[in-house]
Each structure stands twice: as structure tokens, then as C-alpha cells.
A and B are shown apart, each in its own frame.
Chain A
Amino acid sequence: MKAALRLILSVATTLLGLLLVTFIIARLLPADPVLAVVGDHASESTIEAARIRLGLDKPILVQFWIYLTNVLQGDLGESVRTGRPIASELARVFPATLELATLGTLIGVVLGVPLGVWAAVRKDTWIDHMVRFFGLIGYSVPIFWLGLMGLLVFYAKLDWLPGPGRLDFGYEEIVTPVTGVMTIDTLIAGDFDLFRNALAHLILPASLLGYFSLAYISRMTRSLMLGQLRQEYILTARVKGVPERRIIWKHAMGNILVPLLTVIALSYGNLLEGSVLTETVFAWRGLGLYITDSIFGQDMPAVLGGTIVVGAIFIVINMLTDVAYRVLDPRAR
């Protein structure tokens, strides 16, 4: 009970601090937010009217207070640029990112963990070097460039995969959003053809994000695993004649599972923020693109709304990781 209270309190202060800082930074920018709404050619009276309508004539702390009380009532406000409720705009873009990030992380884990283990077991052999080099590329090559190259090769030249977008453009309007996750929505609609189309559109961007997350996960797995393999209990097991496979996947893996989970959760959280560049190249309207657009468009309420979502994602992931610790680590029970 006490722990839960402490958690709620810390979550609340984190969010409040996050909001306050974002709010103030946005106001300190030397650009007039009214321009975003009325455009450059508008008359002075139009500009003044918009300023009052948006509440920008009030002192900044008053503006923040009004905003905060609205947020507590579940009202994230309206987008300055589109006039639509931000909560519903976010609900529209977030599933797109969720779908991509989940698949990306899945790829990163399924390939990254075994690769990391493999490299650790074959430390300093050519296999280890290859894995590390492969990871280094994933980590350092600009994802924007990789994305365009991926499109050039697999879409333009080889014609193996479809192009940008979440579905072929001609079909985009056919699907009624239920969950917002395209692969699920097409299944709900019972159209297997569209489902395959949606899945095919996912492959390239998800593989890219997967590669990125694989690079991180395999590196971390390798070093965690190396740390374990040096331990005496491993030596003992080997002396006892326990099969090598069992030593690695049971004994050592059991001990690195908890820190590994933190690594994976962090990586998942990063992808959930939305990869702006990947979303740009693949015309994938997700959270990252939404927040970036809003920043450039001086759409303060939308930026703040996005910030809340990102904050909430990290809090939720942290809580889930905490729970998983308790399950995986007998000492934490």
C-alpha cells in the first residue's frame, strides 16, 4: 500500500515537472505562436483576436494553471492548428507507432539475444567480431539513409515489398479504424488480403527498427553473458559435466534475465516514443512525426499532449518491468 502510494506520488511529480518544463521552454521560444494559427498576412485585429481566443494574453503561470486543471479532468485541449481534440488525435497516431515498435522490439529480441549469447560464447573469434560489427552498423548508420536504401532495394529494384504507408494508398480509406492497429483492424474486417498487405507494409520499417534495437540488445546481452561466464558457478557446472547448452541457456541466462529485461524495456520505450526519421521516410503517421510536426507548427497543446503520452509510456513500462522482476527474481518476491 505504502509502495503504491509512493509510486503514484513520484509519477505525479515526474509528470508535473515534465509538463512545466515543456510549457516554459515552448513559451520562451522567440516565435509568436499566433502566427501558426493566422498566418503571416493576417491583420493586427485578427492577430489580437486569436491571441485572446487562445488565452495567450494571460500571464504564463495562469495559462499553465488553466491547462493543468483541464488535463486533470482528462481534457488535453484542442490542437491549435487543426482545432481537433488532442486526445483523439493522439489516439489515432499512437497505435501506428505501437504496432511498429512492438514488432521492431520483437525482432530485436528474437534475433538480438541469441546473437549476443553466440558472440559471448565465441568471444574473440571471427563470429564474435562479425556480430559486433553487425551491431555497430545498426547503431551508427543513420536510420534515415538505411530506410531509403531499404526502399530502393526491396521496393524499387526487387519489388519484394510494398512502398511507404501502412497500406497501399488506394486501400487506405477502406479500413475502418477499430483499434488503430492496422494488422488487427484488417483481421476484424475479415479481409485477409488487406491483412497481408498491412503486414507486408510493416516488414521494412519494423525490420529497420528491429535492427536498431537488435544492435543494442545484442551488445548488452553479450556483455551481460560474458560477465556470467566468468563466474565460478559456471566453472563448477562445467566440471560437473552439465551440458554446455544447459549451462548457457539455463544457468547463465537465468541470472542475466532481470538486467536484460531492463535493457529490452528501455529499448521498447525508445521505439514507442516514435522514430521520427523512420516515420518520415515511410510516410507512417505515428507519435514521433506528430510531436515533431507540432513542434515545428508551434502547436503547444499538441506538444504537451504528446509529452504526457511519452511520459506515461515510460511510467507504464517501468511498472511492468517492476512486476516482471518480481516474477523472474525469487529474491524480489
Chain B
Amino acid sequence: MKPFLRSALQGSLAAVAILASSAAAHAKTPADTLVMAYVIDDMISLDPAEIYEFTASEYMANTYDRLVVIDPANPSQLKLQAAESWSVSDDGRTFTFKIRPGIKFHSGNDLTAEDVEFSMERFVSLDLNPAFIMTQFGLTKENVKDKVRVKDPMTLEVELDAAYAPSFFLNCLSFTSVVVDKDLVAANEANGDWGHEWLKTNGAGSGPFTLRSWQPNESLVLEANENYWDGAPEIKRVLVRNVTESATQQLLLQKGDIDIARNLTGDQLAAVKKDPNIKLQSYPKATLWYMGLNVTNQHLGNPDVRRAMRYLVDYDGLQETMFNGTGIKHQTFLPDGQLGADNSTPYTLDVAKAKELLTKAGYPNGFNVTIDVTNKSEARELSASLQNTMAQAGINLVIKMADNKTTLTKYRASEHDIYLGQWGSDYQDPHSNADGFLNAPLAKRNQWATPEMEARVMAARDEKDATKRAQMYMDLQKLQLDEGPYVILFQQVETIALRKNVDGFIVGPTFDLDLYRDVVKN
């Protein structure tokens, strides 16, 4: 070997050895900090009037208070948070909220009815992504000032345009009634933007954690609010680190460099389950995998064809092999946990039955049809299995793979035959999915919407008797199961992997119910 080369090699090896020994000496995650690997590339704004995506609503839930929230332990029940009590007028149109005294914002300001009024006005007036959840109650930019009223410093009144089921309005508020610090936000207002530009990257809440820093696609750091009215968190800091590669997340967790891995795949979960230092925790999310069938397609317009297709899915096989703890079979449009949800699964893989139905429909030899699939590994695997089982009855699925925005653009314009994708509830009320699947937007995209169906959806929305309301949703689900333009497949289950010493992390049915406050590291 040439002397020069030898010394170069020896030098670099020595450098590696020195550094390696020092690196291993470092401690693992600090005892007072929760370190979590999580894909947070969908977090694009921290303004509660704009937050609508998964991970950002988790941020919102941990740094802000809302008037009411869903009880994660029992998702059909509500819990009071910034509101101390609520009541509704006899005509069902006016809600009165008593504000809980003694809540302080992170800035030190007191939380009063003024802040709630400001927040609601702001939410409606900014008219950003989630604004429709409030405007559906007749609150508009023009009238919100008159409809949301401060009665006294601790009392707020909200007047709706009609009488809705109280549970419906409150369920919506559980997502939208985030209270922002009026004085702080107003001080950062520019060009009449309600402080939006500022709040997109800053916090103005009263929740158990405060925002320390956010770097998009990189990290989110929260610090404990020592003065939280409902008790300060045990841990001092939460560090959320964007780690896009799930295999990397698995390594980090097994080495103890993170406390929680949020995005492990079915295979990886099965692998870490065997690790004595790791445990799993899961909760069904209000997100469904489904196929949307465009009924203007000559084949898909026939209800018997749609029935046949529901018999051509290997529900059990997929649940065990592909989902492996990240999904359970589910065939109705209401996810488990919502009022009136029907968890029955009458369809199984039954090729003979499907052939019989196809023959009845006039297609004994099947037909060709295209399916638009998002280019993500789960969707790819799912569509390959569907293609295989559908072919057994002669239905030839031609898979068209594209990125999410491309397939969605096509779906929104109803230019698809079949669309394979996911749908998550906007809020924890059955109306969100009933409206979505039976009226707008999904029934419209699949060209199945009718005025009669819309009327039935609205009637269920407005029913004041909760038992009757649940029954109405049961009936609608029966109908969809039989003739609807969907093959609903699976309900997503969020399974997170944690180090054994981490307790108290709450995983809820929606991301705005994933809570860190009770986390302890033993």
C-alpha cells in the first residue's frame, strides 16, 4: 500500500473511533422531555381558524382551550372545558355559555366572554378551510357580530338561524370553539387580517402547553404551562420531530432515542411488539378507507353491480395481513364511536354470490373499469388486492396511479369511474359523514345525490331526540349498505409505539383528541 494512502486510511479510522466512543456516552431522551417522531409535513398553519389537518389539530388541542370538547374515553359524550355550563333556549335557536372563571392565557391575560366572542367572529370572518362548520348554522361574515353576543364578562350567547339538534351544534363546537387571546392577537393584526399572518406561526392560547418553536417539516417544540387551570403537565417539554421514513422511526424507538413513534407500518408494529422495551397503544380513528363508484358509469350505475363489488373484497385477509393492527373492517359510513354507528359487516368475500348478482345485472362475464389510486404504499397494496379479488368474478380493475392531488382533482370533477381513498370526519358528529357520504361532497362526486336523500340527511341532523336521531342514522346506513355508491372497506386504527416507561399518552378518535398533558416518564 502506498504510504500516503495508508496514512489517510489510518487517520480517518482513528477519527471515527474517537468520535464513536464519545457519541455513545450521551444520555438518551431527557427525563423531563417527551420526544416523538411523527410525520408532520401536513402541518401548514398554526392558526386555529385555519387548522384542519391532522397533526395541526393535535397541536391545537394541546395548546388551546375550547368551550367544549369530546371526551376521548367516551366519544359520544361531551366534556366542558373553557365553558362552565351551557343552556339552550326553548325555541332551540339560542345557546348560552357560562365561561369558566380563573383561566389565564399564556400571556397572563384573563380568558373572558370577550375572547370567545372575538374568536368566533374571527373564525367565521376569516372564512378559511374549516369555516363551513360554523357557517352551516347561519353564521356569516355579515351577521356574526350580531349573532354572537357578550351578555356579561363571563356569559356568551350564540344565536343560530334555525333549531338544530343541540348535540349537533355542540359536537361542531368541540372542534371550532378554540379560544384565542383577543388582546394578543389584536395587537398583531395587520391590514385587517384578524392577526392571521401572525397566528399562523405563533400561539395565543391557554392550554396545558405553550408553543416554543415550530419549523415546518422539521420540528415542533412545546413547553409545559405551569399555570394551567386544570393542573400543570408532568413533563416539561414535548419535542415532535418530523421523521418521514418509518423504518428510521422504528430504529430510533428501539434504540431509545425517541419515546414514541407515530407512523410505524403494520409490519414494523408487529416487529416492535416483540421488543420488551416497547408497548403499543391504539384507537380507532374517524377515518374510513372506501371506494367511490361513479354511478354515471354504465356498469356502476346498476345497484346489483355495486352489491356484487361489495362481495369481492377480501376484508378478513386484508385486515390480518396488510393492516395488521392499523385498520379494522368497517362497511358503513359512520365510524365506530359516533352516535348511531352501525358496526355490522354483512359482506364477506363471496365470489359465487357476486357472480350471481353480476349475471342478474347482465354482465355474466364481468367488464373493464378504471380505478384512481393515490400513489401511497397503503393505497397501492389495497388496490392490488382489490384487483385480484374483483378479477375472480370477471371485473377487470384498471389501476390508474397518481399523486394525491392529481387523483383528488379528478375525483372532485367526477371524472373517475372508481376512486379509492380515505375520508375523515370533520367533527365528531354523525352529520359530518352522513352529509359527506349521502349528500355533499361525496354523493355529488359519485353523482348519486338526490333532493330526497338530502332531505333525509337534514331531518336526521335536526332531530332533537337523541335516540330517534341515532335510529335515523341506523336506517340511512342500512340503505347505503344495500344500494349506496360506495364499497366502504376499513376504519383506520391509529397505533402508536411507545417506550415502556411512557404512560398517560391519550390517543383519541380524532387528532384533536390526542393529548399529552397526562404523560409521565417513569
Task: Please give the residue numbers on chain A whose beta carbons come within 8 Å of chain B beta carbons, in ascending order.
Answer: 29-33, 35-43, 45-46, 49, 79, 81-84, 89, 92, 107, 110-111, 114-115, 117-118, 148, 151-152, 154-156, 159-165, 168-170, 172-173, 193, 196-197, 199-201, 203, 280-283, 285, 289-290, 293, 296-298
- Smallest CB-CB separation from A36: which chain B residue? B405
Smallest Cβ distance from A73 to chain B, in angstroms? Answer: 20
Please tell me which one of the listed residues A39, A110, A159, A193 contacts residue B24 in the complex, with CB atoms under 8 A apart: A159
Bound CA–CA A162/B201 (angstroms): 31
Cα–Cα, bound, A235→B346 (Å): 87
In the complex, what distance in Å separates the CA atom of A301 from the CA atom of B353? 53
- The answer to whether B52 and A39 touch across the interface, beta carbons within 8 angstroms, is yes
Whether B129 and A38, one on each chain, are in contact in the complex, defined by CB atoms closer than 8 angstroms, is yes
Q: In the complex, which residues of chain A have a beta carbon less than 8 angstroms from the beta carbon of B221?
A: 173
B109-152: contact bitstring with A at CB < 8 Å (1 yes, 0 no)? 00000000000000000011101100000000000000000000
Q: Is B30 an interface residue (CB 8 A)?
A: yes
Residues of chain B within 8 A of A154, CB atoms compared:
20
Asked whether B248 lies within 8 Å of A164 as measured between CB atoms, the reply is yes
Assembly CA distance A285 to B41 (angstroms): 12
Q: Assuming A83-B201, A84-B216, is B5 touching A114 (CB within 8 A)?
A: yes
B409: Cβ under 8 A from any A Cβ:
yes
A163 touches B239 (CB 8 A): no
**Known contacts A49-B127, A81-B44, A169-B257; is-contact A161 B132 (Cβ 8 Å):** no
Report the minimal beta-carbon distance from B440 to chain A, rounded to whole angstroms: 10
A166 vs chain B, min Cβ distance (A):
10
Q: Are B403 and A31 in contact (CB under 8 A)?
A: yes
Interface code B179-222, partner A: CB below 8 Å = 1, 0 otherwise? 00000000000000000010011000000000011011111010
Are A30 and B410 CB-contacts (below 8 A) given A200-B20, A296-B403? yes
**When chains A and B are docked, how far (Å) is the Cα of A296 from the Cα of B257?**
29
The chain B residue with its CB closest to the CB of A172 is B219
Q: Which of B128, B215, B405 contacts A31 (CB 8 A)?
A: B405
Q: Which residues of chain A come closer than 8 Å to B254, judged between CB atoms?
A: 156
Find chain A residues with CB under 8 A from B215 CB: 92, 285
Bound together, the chains give a CA A111 to CA B24 distance in angstroms of: 27
A170 and B129 contact, Cβ closer than 8 Å, known pairs A156-B254, A161-B20? no
A172 and B216 in contact, given A35-B409, A39-B129, A161-B23 (Cβ under 8 angstroms): no
Inter-chain contacts of B248 with A (CB < 8 A)? 148, 151, 163-164, 281-283
Say whether A46 contacts B129, CB under 8 Å: yes
- Write out the residue numbers on chain A whose beta carbons fall within 8 Å of the beta carbon of B408: 31-32, 35, 40
B22 at interface by CB-CB < 8 Å: yes
With the chains together, A201 CA to B408 CA distance in Å?
40
> Which one, A83, A162, A193, contacts B200 given CB within 8 A?
A83
Contact A283–B41 (Cβ < 8 Å): no
Smallest CB–CB gap between B243 and chain A, Å? 5
Distance between B449 CB and nearest chain A CB, rounded to angstroms = 15
Contacts of A169 in B (CB 8 A): 29, 35, 239, 241, 252, 257-258
Task: Check B44 against A200 for contact (C-beta < 8 Å).
Answer: no
Q: Is the CB of A163 within 8 A of B216?
A: no
Expressed in whole angstroms, the Cα–Cα distance for A32 and B12 within the complex equals 50
Number of interface residues of B (CB under 8 A): 65
What secondary structure prevails in chain B residues at the interface with A? mixed
Q: Mark out the residues of chain B between 22 and 48 whose CB falls within 8 Å of any chain A CB in the assembled complex.
A: 22-24, 26-27, 29-30, 33, 35, 37, 41, 44-45
Give the docked Cα–Cα distance between A168 and B27 (Å).
Answer: 9
**Which chain B residues lie closer than 8 Å to A199 at the CB level?**
19
Per a CB cutoff under 8 Å, which of A148, A162, A289 touches B26? A162
A173 to B23, CA, bound (A): 18
Are B127 and A46 in contact, with the CB atoms below 8 A? yes
Q: Are B243 and A200 in contact (CB under 8 A)?
A: no
Closest chain A residue to B213 by CB distance? A173
A197–B402 Cα distance when bound, in Å, is: 41
Chain A residues lying within 8 Å of B37, measured Cβ to Cβ, are 283
Closest Cβ–Cβ distance, residue A310 to chain B (whole Å) = 18
Taking a contact as CB atoms under 8 Å apart, the answer to whether B245 and A155 are in contact is: no
With A92-B215, A160-B20, A196-B22 known as contacts, the answer to whether A41 contacts B426 (CB < 8 A) is: yes
Complexed CA–CA distance, A326 and B202 (Å): 52
B38, chain A: closest CB distance, angstroms: 11
Task: Kindly state the separation between the CA atoms of A74 and B244 in the bound complex, as whole angstroms.
Answer: 32
* Known interface pairs A38-B129, A39-B52, A118-B2; A163-B241 also in contact (CB < 8 Å): no
A/B interface sample: 12 pairs, CB < 8 A: A31-B403, A32-B409, A39-B53, A40-B412, A45-B127, A83-B45, A148-B248, A156-B254, A164-B252, A168-B257, A197-B22, A297-B41
Cβ-neighbour of A170 out of B33, B41, B245, B402 (below 8 A): B33
CA distance A40 to B247 in the complex (A): 29
Q: Which residues of A contact B33 (CB under 8 A)?
A: 170
| With known contacts A92-B215, A170-B30, A155–B258 Cβ distance under 8 A | no
Contact B251 A152 (CB under 8 A): yes
Given A84-B216, A170-B29, A199-B19, A155 and B255 contact (CB-CB distance below 8 Å): yes
CB-based nearest A residue for B243: A283
Q: How far is the CA of A45 from the CA of B197 in the complex (A)?
A: 20
A298 with B23, Cβ < 8 A, contacts A168-B257, A169-B241, A172-B219 known: no
The residues of B that contact A83 with a CB separation of less than 8 Å are 44-45, 197, 200-201
Residues from chain A with a CB closer than 8 A to the CB of B41 are 293, 297
Q: Which residues of A contact B212 (CB under 8 A)?
A: 173
The verdict on A160 contacting B24 (CB below 8 Å), with A169-B29, A170-B35 known, is yes
The 8 closest A-B pairs by CB, nearest first: A200-B23, A31-B405, A160-B20, A82-B216, A31-B406, A114-B5, A81-B44, A32-B409
Q: Is the CB of B23 within 8 A of A196?
A: yes
Q: Who on chain A is nearest to B415 by CB?
A: A30
